[in-house]
Structure 1
Amino acid sequence: MSTYDVVIIGAGPAGLAVAYPLQEQGKRVAIIESDLWGGTCPNRGCDPKKMLMRGVEVKEAATAMLDSGIDGQVTIDWTKLMAHKRGYTEPVQTSTKQGLKEANIDTYSGAAAFVDPHTLMIGDQQITGEKIVIATGQRPAVIDIPGQEHLSSSTDFLDLDQLPQEIVFIGAGYITFELAVIAQAAGAQVHIIHHNQQPLKGFDQELVTALVAELSTQGIAFHLDTSPKALKKEADYYVLETDKGNFRADMVIGATGRIPNVETLQLERAHVEFDQHGVLVDTYLRTNQPHIYAIGDVLSKQLPKLTPVASFEAQHVVKVLAGKQEPIQYPLIPTLVFGHLKLARIGVSEKTIQKNTDQYSSEVIDLSTWYTYQRINDKQAKMTVVYDQAHNIAALTILSTLADELINTFVFVLGLDLTKDDLSRMIFAYPTPVSDLSSMI
């Protein structure tokens, strides 16, 4: 039985961000992966999704400039676009394992299960670790309806050889919005089914409404306050039964949230506490067993479960294992719904703002008339700014084709408490989105 200083369960971005620094410190490190080496993000998550989204961005940018100097219609060739995506994703597993091998980090393939607080079983192999880091991530939840075995997931969509003619998405979170935009732009007829009136509930609802309206004009059909009841397979198509009628489709995708990968770990044998949202940790990211840590999407937490957050947590655990006993302090975390028209926010949560309306005020700024957005015919561009009682920016939400660029700029502005005077002492390249900053705060 092999013994290690640190054993990491999960070879995604979080686990890898722990493994390499610890090995460089001279520790004997092992890492275990039961699925795809490299994790969800580069294999079947944010990275391949953004590769496919590039086709949408080019198509819609050209469409926005029709009658403004651009002629002709840009179309998406799904087969070639998917080949572009696979050109990135297919080498990920091999390159990940090769990198670990070259770093002299031992790798184990298979599902890890605790035998006791220090011992893990992987297949018929048993290893022990002085310290253990759980970084097993999440997977798509499956809605409990008759016929749920016929549901597809985001994983299936991101590797389609051919695009179905008609797709129904169940759920109206950011995954649905992003995949629906890709599918519709590539030529599919798209329906989104959601059980209440609040899609993207974590974002400013005025801008969400504007986004839904724009996507509706592009051809995506939204069916709010509609609950799925059953899914049936009929010959070469599916029928989704809901409380508002039936929907026929070539593919039905369940996008009703994600759940932590904890079942196979046998955490009870290690006496590690967890709940339905994931593994419970303290402010040092330690479980109730002080030698066992957990990071990334497997955590039970209110913060967004995003790849950069997981990597930030990994960096903190590395410091703790090196002897720096400081609680984790999270910085501002931007969240983003990708598309040609993007929705981004940063700051105090919408839930907090709605619960304390007397402490906040807000304004909506129409950006569509500003030069930056007129230049690219971004007619939907707008921004909601929320102020606290001292008139400092507490949160902001941006709806624009440039929202991804602009929100990262506000990470610096808000994270460093930059003022209008601070910005006035800087000269930015003009005309660019960043050169508008001093007029926005």
Structure 2
Amino acid sequence: MHRPLPTRIHRLVPRLAVSTHSSATALLFPSPRYTTLYPPSRATVASARLSAFSSHFSSSPPTMASSSQEYDYLVIGIGSGGIASARRAAKHGAKVAAIESKRMGGTCVNVGCVPKKVTWNAAAIAETFKDAKAYGFGNFEQPTFDWPYFKKKRDAFVKRLNGIYENNLNKDQIDHVKGRAKFVGKNEVEVALESGGTQRIKAKKILIATGGRPKVPDIPGAELCIDSDGFFDLEDRPKSIATSGAGYIGVEMSGMLKALGTDVHFFIRGQKLLRTFDPMIQDVVTKEYERQGLHLYKGHQITKVEDIGNGMKRVTYQDMESKKESSLEVECVLFATGRDPEIEDLDVKQLGLELDGRNHIKVDQYQNTNVQDIFAIGDVSNSGFELTPVAIAAGRRLSDRLFGGKSDAHLDYSNIPSVVFAHPEIGSVGLTEPEAREKFGDKVKVYKTEFSGMYFAMMDPEEKQPTAYKIVCVGEEEKVVGLHILGQGSAEILQGFGVAIKMGATKKDFDNCVAIHPVSAEELVTMT
């Protein structure tokens, strides 16, 4: 879910497009609820480089798809992956149309990576104020934070990105329609237009890039709760909150709220956070969140929520082992318990599209579905990586294959780096230690270290955040097959090491790199 920093936004957004009726805030996690799209026909034209985020954008009026013509390529969902694929196809000379039912830019721009990272930045600044006292600064113990002011500026930033998406569509002469699509034939969709009425669009190839949406468990009082999308609609910071979900979204949002001053009650079904990550990461982040003062309810789940007036809610929760119930009162209840693919309105079953057990569209390594000329990318597919850069890369390679004459173009899904903007940051690429041992047995060798970064040298022991690094190697050459890091700056550190691991780096290659001193990352090239 891994994710975009301000500098990364400059690289990702230009490839995306926005619908003609864009609105404000949008997220960057997985692509949200968006209508379906169809893949374009093959066309061989010299590929052109996509424009940089900083390039000038066309102010020409939006072009609308005409039902009287057939397109080479129809993309359903103008999120990160959809717009990247649509624009690349247009660069190759394909006649492209795109459909979107909500704000352009998908989850990442509107309710994901972008507003999430901006909020994380605010939380990191709050932590810096707290740390300043140890360095001799005074009067920082109780800094004020104006959430409504912050939200207004964050929303305006996202809305500007929505407009950039739309301008990029216009610049590449991609017809786009605001509405919700459903298949009425193998190469045809009907769009319920936002402005009223319907419109049919035909295409030789169709891409489904509709992303996913947050899910909330079916419990009494579910309507009183918010999901990860609703987090960005909060008009003010809640003084107290109950959060649920041990995955990266729950960990990120719980950590941000705690750093900004909210009393956080964090419910997880298991005993550790981030259960799909390396055990070292799970252990250290769980212990650190408890040290920071989040109330962590291990092995518990929320079973009921009631409105008790005065802006408060009563949360009933259950010990999953003993079944004993208890309750607490908070201002807000947030569920970050996973996402469902956005496919209901597409009527994909009448096409015979195969779905997996979680209703994701099955695709092969080339993003092909089981129906010829219909493709799927991003969070709506079963690729296994709900990350914005993954959807973008898969979408571009698909268009290169379909329209750019690159018959073998496809995304290599191995060694994809990802980060969690927790407190502290977490980065991971490659196999976890258990995965490596299952695959390679006794050929696995692990190097790891835990320490406090130099930033915390001036602080009392109980105030120091941990840093933890693990390198997973295989074979006599000690090829690095996994890297897992937790600590300050992990998101930035991982990008460069991700390149090295993708290139097949060994532990000796790490050792041969002269360390930069004094930084935490030097431990990765000096570890014994």
TM-score of the superposed pair, with normalisation by structure 1: 0.92
Counterpart CA distance in 2 for 1:397 and 1:277 is 30
SS of the aligned residue for 1:227 comes to: strand
In structure 2, which of residues 427, 439, 443 is the aligned counterpart of residue 344 of structure 1?
427
Q: Please name the residue that 2:28 is paired with.
A: none
Counterpart CA distance in 1 for 2:149 and 2:437 is 45
- Alpha-carbon deviation of 1:270? 2.4
Question: Does 2:499 correspond to 1:416?
Answer: no
- Alpha-carbon deviation of 1:438? 2.8
SS of the aligned residue for 2:200 comes to: strand
Larger RCO of the pair (alpha carbons < 8 Å, separation 6+): 2
Deviates more, 1:137-146 or 1:358-367: 358-367
What is the Cα-based RMSD across aligned positions, in Å? 2.4
Q: Please name the residue that 2:99 is paired with.
A: 32
In structure 2, which of residues 225, 235, 239 is the aligned counterpart of residue 161 of structure 1?
235
Counterpart CA distance in 2 for 1:351 and 1:158 is 36
Q: Specify the code of the residue in structure 2 equivalent to 1:238.
A: K
What are the Cα deviations for residues 218-262 of structure 1, in whole angstroms up to 9, with x where unaligned?
A: 221100111222222222322221224112211111111111011
TM-score of the superposed pair, with normalisation by structure 2: 0.77
Q: Please name the residue that 1:273 is paired with.
A: 354
Assess if the C-alpha contact under 8 Å between 1:77 and 1:186 holds in 2: no
Q: Specify the code of the residue in structure 2 equivalent to 1:10.
A: G
* Aligned positions of 1:7-406 closer than 5 A: 7-73=74-140, 74-123=143-192, 124-235=198-309, 236-243=311-318, 244-275=325-356, 276-301=358-383, 303-322=384-403, 323-326=405-408, 327-349=410-432, 352-353=435-436, 355=438, 358-368=442-452, 374=457, 379-390=465-476, 391-406=478-493
- Alpha-carbon deviation of 1:351? 5.6
SS of the aligned residue for 2:526 comes to: helix
Counterpart CA distance in 2 for 1:182 and 1:160 is 14
Change (3 A) 1:420 1:378: farther
Assess if the C-alpha contact under 8 Å between 1:37 and 1:93 holds in 2: yes
Assess if the C-alpha contact under 8 Å between 2:73 and 2:96 holds in 1: yes
Change (3 A) 1:37 1:149: same
Total equivalences in the alignment: 439
Counterpart CA distance in 1 for 2:290 and 2:411 is 42
- Alpha-carbon deviation of 1:135? 0.4
Deviates more, 1:63-72 or 1:339-348: 63-72
Percent of residue pairs identical: 29
- Alpha-carbon deviation of 1:181? 1.4
Counterpart CA distance in 1 for 2:270 and 2:124 is 29
Counterpart CA distance in 2 for 1:413 and 1:234 is 55
Assess if the C-alpha contact under 8 Å between 1:76 and 1:185 holds in 2: no
- Alpha-carbon deviation of 1:151? 1.9
Counterpart CA distance in 1 for 2:280 and 2:492 is 21
SS of the aligned residue for 1:144 comes to: coil
SS of the aligned residue for 1:18 comes to: helix
SS of the aligned residue for 1:290 comes to: coil
SS of the aligned residue for 1:199 comes to: coil
What are the Cα deviations for residues 62-88 of structure 1, in whole angstroms up to 9, with x where unaligned?
A: 433432333332443322322331231
Counterpart CA distance in 2 for 1:398 and 1:25 is 40
- Alpha-carbon deviation of 1:375? 8.4
Deviates more, 1:169-178 or 1:235-244: 235-244
